[in-house]
Amino acid sequence: MGTVCNGSHSDFILLGFSDKPYLEKILFWFILIFYCLTLAENIIIILVSSKDPKLHIPMYFFLSNLSLLELCFTSSCVPQMLLNFWGPEKTISYTGCAIQLYIFLWLGASECVLLVVMAVDRYVAVCHPLQYTTIMSPKLCLQLVIMVWGLGLLQSLIQSPATLELPFCLHRRVDDIVCEVPALIQLSSADTTYNEVQMSIASAVLLVVPLIIILSSYGVIAKTVLRIKSTAGQKKALSTCTSHLLVVSLFYGTVTAVYLQPKNPYTHERGKFLTLFYTVVTPTLNPLIYTLRNKEVKGALIRLVKTT
């Protein structure tokens, strides 16, 4: 007899790590600390980038947008995660799950595109320094950011309804820590071929293609840097690029492992920890990576503290 499924809009149960209650108690405090740090760090980055005139350049405009994205991205799922890890009640309403899915996909896809834009910005800065301010004009930067948020929203508006229209099993147990596409597809016993193909295409467009563009950009940047004769000049050219590469590695390394890994019980369990990493840990580490390796941001932060 098959699994009974229907299309009713009843509550979902986010199982998380319910088979390891001791782990959930530890994770609650771990996530709470990291979430508070994420809020503080990214708000500081946005304030510093907007307040200090020396940071009114494209690189920091994109960085402040990255901070805003990650603030919203982590806030779309972490509060619910904390509620689920704290007590035995692990339900999330159908509406809450739908909203989480829409926002999660929107901001996740937007970050994929934004990291490409930031790589292109570094390419222009290093390979065409004399034309940098002309090419990366304020108008173009604004258009690029609108494109980033717009493409992310378009991706969410395409994939979210297709996922939510699936008939879900009556037990409504989502074997994940958030309402994301792979887990919701698994909850349906209907033919999900269309959804899986859609997810594969989206993964290729938003993960594989951007990664190829980013790596190609840095390949050209590396050749340009090697032609710089002075060591000081090489270090200056590489300083901001290294930070961006670290951020790209953290984000793409975990997200691609979740969305492109083969489906089996072992990888699914590992996928929960990877989801935890890119929703909780990465948004905390990114501001640190940019500020600890960047004298301009640290200087701006000191000036901001002195004036307050």
Q: What is the pLDDT of residues 228-238, one digit of tens each?
A: 777 777 777 77
Q: What is the pLDDT of residues 130-151, one digit of tens each?
A: 899 999 999 999 999 999 999 9
pLDDT at 1: 40
| pLDDT top residue among 296 and 219 | 219
Residue 168, token pair as written in the block: 């879900």
Determine which of 98-112, 144-158, 183-197 has the lowest per-residue pLDDT on average.
183-197
Whether pLDDT at 205 is above 90: no
CATH 2.60.40.10 holds for 10-307: no
Contacts of 200 (CB under 8 A, 6+ apart): none
Give CA 115 to chain center in angstroms.
Answer: 10
pLDDT at 2: 44
Distance CA 75, CA 69 (A): 10
User: pTM of the entire structure?
Assistant: 0.88
Determine which of 17-26, 27-36, 153-162 has the lowest per-residue pLDDT on average.
17-26
pLDDT at 255: 82
pLDDT at 261: 65
Q: How far lies 259's CA from each of 163, 209, 233, 263, 291, in Å?
A: 15, 14, 39, 10, 30
Whether pLDDT at 107 is above 90: yes
Determine which of 131-140, 260-269, 285-294 has the lowest per-residue pLDDT on average.
260-269
Distance CA 72, CA 103 (A): 8
Between helix 231-260 and helix 94-127 the angle, nearest 10°, is: 150
Whether pLDDT at 8 is above 60: no
Contact 148, 117 (CB under 8 A): yes
Mean pLDDT of the chain: 85
**How confident is the model over 243-258, as a mean pLDDT?**
84
Which range in 11-20, 138-147, 236-245, 288-297 is most confidently predicted, on average pLDDT?
138-147
- Count CB neighbours of 7 within 10 A: 11
**How confident is the model over 124-133, as a mean pLDDT?**
90
pLDDT confidence band for 245 (50 / 70 / 90): confident
